[in-house]
Structure 1
Amino acid sequence: MASTSSITGSQGSGRASSSDMDESTFLKRNRTIHFLRIALSFLAFAIAIAVIACEAPPLQHYKDTSQWAPAGLALWPLNFDLRPTIAAIACGSIITMMNLVYIVTALMPSPHSRIKPLNIYSSVLAFAGFVTALVTVLFTIYRPSSNHPAGFNTNETLHSWTCKWKTGTDGTSIPRHFERDCMNTRAGFALMCVLIGMEMLMGIVAAAGTWFQRDVSRRREQQFQVEKLEIASKHAYHQ
């Protein structure tokens, strides 16, 4: 009986040691993933702010100068589509707010474990951010439901119109701020494309965190079932 007890205790000790190693490995991986997600969220937040900062000045320039049209000082064509600029600013604002909420939530101290909630939120954040950025880029390129006046085949946007004028023509000066607006709108579009990649990276990291969390939960459940079986076996043996 002593020998059997010794063997059982040795096996139990070995399983406990293995379980402790699994938990330690999981906590280290989760800590790394946690910091990666925060870093990616900070980057996405900064890039989204940059998108707004790039697109807002051209929009304000348009609003300030479009009112001159009735006085015969029109700078903008009749076939003008402002929606891509508005969509870019809306995209930047949405991604900024989502990442700000995640950063605050992730950095806020809590007495309880938030591994699963943060995994869920980071996954939702990555998916929503990816869809928002992708839809904005596709909308900017294709501009669905775009209408133009009779006599025009296409519409002009802040980007296309200002970039047409930024180099100037013979005997024609460049309208004020058009070169700046061209560069800003071009940078804003490029940053939105970068956001797509950033959200994909966030999704990969979030998926890794979720997989590790489910794997350790499965191992815990298996360990719990083994311990229950051992207790039941010991109880039956003593009876």
Structure 2
Amino acid sequence: MYKRIASRIAASAAAAAVALGAAATLAPAAQAATPAARTAHTSPWLSGSELPLATTFRWKAEPKTRHTSTGPWQALYSCEFSSPEQLHVTSVTGMQFQGVDRHVQASQALFHFKDSATARKALSDIEHDYAGCAKHLNSGHPIDIDSGKPDHWTLTRTATRADGAAYRLVGRDSAGKPATAPDLSPDSQELFVQHGATISVLGLYALNGKIDNASGAASALRAMSYRLSHA
């Protein structure tokens, strides 16, 4: 069963479009003093080409799926042991991406908070959740719903920035087959970046190892950080 960030909040109606700022302009060379260039503004939403494994899945953003919700939410990310209420999320805006493989899902969400201090604390809580994720999921010796064999989960931190981090979560039963567990994909990549009062979240989810190559995580984090900080 897929656990997709935006699946909890997506709806058929599109949210209001995100405004795009004008690009920075340079003063003419003839002027005696060159004024400071204006900061270029962009959208916080990624393009399909900025996602990990873009050449494999040829992601296309679907702006019409953009929708904002004020909750309640069952869960917002795979390793969520802090509830949305504990994180003090005020609203979530989500968007889906379409790829060439219908068994692989991708989505982006913006978690909104009342101020930057609350958002920073929420990112810290999210990182704490992921630090203990594998231990938590493996506690009690979980049994696979489908195969009846023991499941084992592995969590890898695939990229790190001062303003965020990326993770890969993989679950397999004792025979090496993808794990089946409530509300968890056996293979996922989730990336988080915080700037101001917002956390940008990107998730890739699959029922097998097709998305386990995390070599694009650092690049995607950089794109997320740039877009969010220049929005």
TM-score, normalization by structure 2: 0.30
RCO higher in structure (CA 8 A, sep ≥6): 1
TM-score, normalization by structure 1: 0.29
Q: Which has the higher strand share?
A: 2
Q: Which has the higher helix share?
A: 1
Max Rg structure: 1
